[in-house]
Amino acid sequence: MRPIRIVPPDTRIPFIAFRKIAYLLSGTAAIVSVTLFLVMGLNFGIDFRGGTLIEIQTRGPADIAQLRNQIGALGLGDVQLQEFGSPNEVLIRVEQQTGGEGKQQDAVRAIKDTLGDTVTYRRVEVVGPKVSGELIQGGIVAVFVALFSVLVYIWFRFEWQFSMGAVLALVHDVVLTIGLFSGMQLEFNLSIVAAILTIVGYSLNDTVVVFDRVRETLRKYKKMALPELLDVAINATLSRTLLTSVTTLLALLALYMFGGEVIRGFTFAMIWGVLVGTYSSIFIASPLLLILGVKRDWSRVGAKPKDGQAA
């Protein structure tokens, strides 16, 4: 059975020739992302900020203004209400109450007493400041452990030049994702941390496939110029890369449109991650091998090419 190819086998796109443009765009985007993060910060959700989250369902279309007046009269501080998926579903966020978890529970009881049995309570979450602080720390540690593990894995499987190229590409993906959430002030919660870790895995998979073909091409073509050799390797894996990205995006778009508000932030982060991860594996990770000076002689480890294979 012949493999499916959406890119002709004789494709010769000069990706490496665009590396300076890619570096400029990525460098600018990274600087903007870091600036947005430092100036605007992240819109932390209840998971990280602490507070109370209540999801309710009304019997008819919800009157947000009336609900806001009712709950605002309780004096609970910053209270946010928004439609959640459909007109009769509302998400209520209440800021962290001073006085510990007991005060948080008092706030929940006060809201339930005010709304009574006119609504159905679908979800109630209370997160204290200690727990939210631990979650922030755990999320940061998880991302750094993932990046360090990738560094070690690629180093052992390939060479340190490949390892540094892969990690720098992954850092690029994470920084741009955080910058996007900071700039758009989208809610940043534990599901987004999970999405970032998934993006790291997805981007790494793409990068390893390209690097594996680069290693094979280094063994096959001993005298070919490195920029041309990298183009050959990238073009050879282009069909596989595009097939994987397109099929993944189709599934994520379906989840984004029909999966509901609960997973919308996660799927949005994943859609962005697939796009930026595919871009970085081609235009960031591979061209970095030129800067890092990948060796041509390490590929002699293993079987020698047959006569006529070297060029």
pLDDT tens, the chain, 311 aa long: 555 666 666 778 888 888 899 999 999 999 999 999 999 988 877 777 777 888 888 888 888 888 888 888 888 777 777 777 778 888 888 877 776 667 778 888 888 888 887 888 888 877 665 555 676 777 778 778 877 887 777 777 777 788 888 888 888 998 999 999 999 988 888 788 888 888 888 888 888 888 888 888 877 777 778 888 888 888 888 888 888 888 999 999 998 888 766 678 889 999 999 999 889 888 888 888 888 777 665 544 444 444 444 43
Tell me which CATH homologous superfamily contains domain 15-43+132-297: Multidrug efflux transporter AcrB transmembrane domain (1.20.1640.10)
What is the torsion angle, in degrees rounded to the nearest 10, for the CA atoms of residue 187, residue 191, residue 196 and residue 201? -160
Domain with CATH 3.30.70.3400 in the chain: 51-127
What 3-state DSSP class applies to 187? strand
Contact 159, 298 (CB under 8 A): yes
Instruction: Choose among 210, 198, 203: nearest CA to 237.
Output: 210
- Give the position of tokens 């006569």: 307
Instruction: Choose among 232, 214, 241: nearest CA to 159.
Output: 214
How many angstroms separate the first and last alpha carbons of the chain?
30
Out of 3.30.300.30, 1.10.620.20, 3.30.70.3400, 3.40.50.300, which CATH number does the structure's domain 51-127 have? 3.30.70.3400
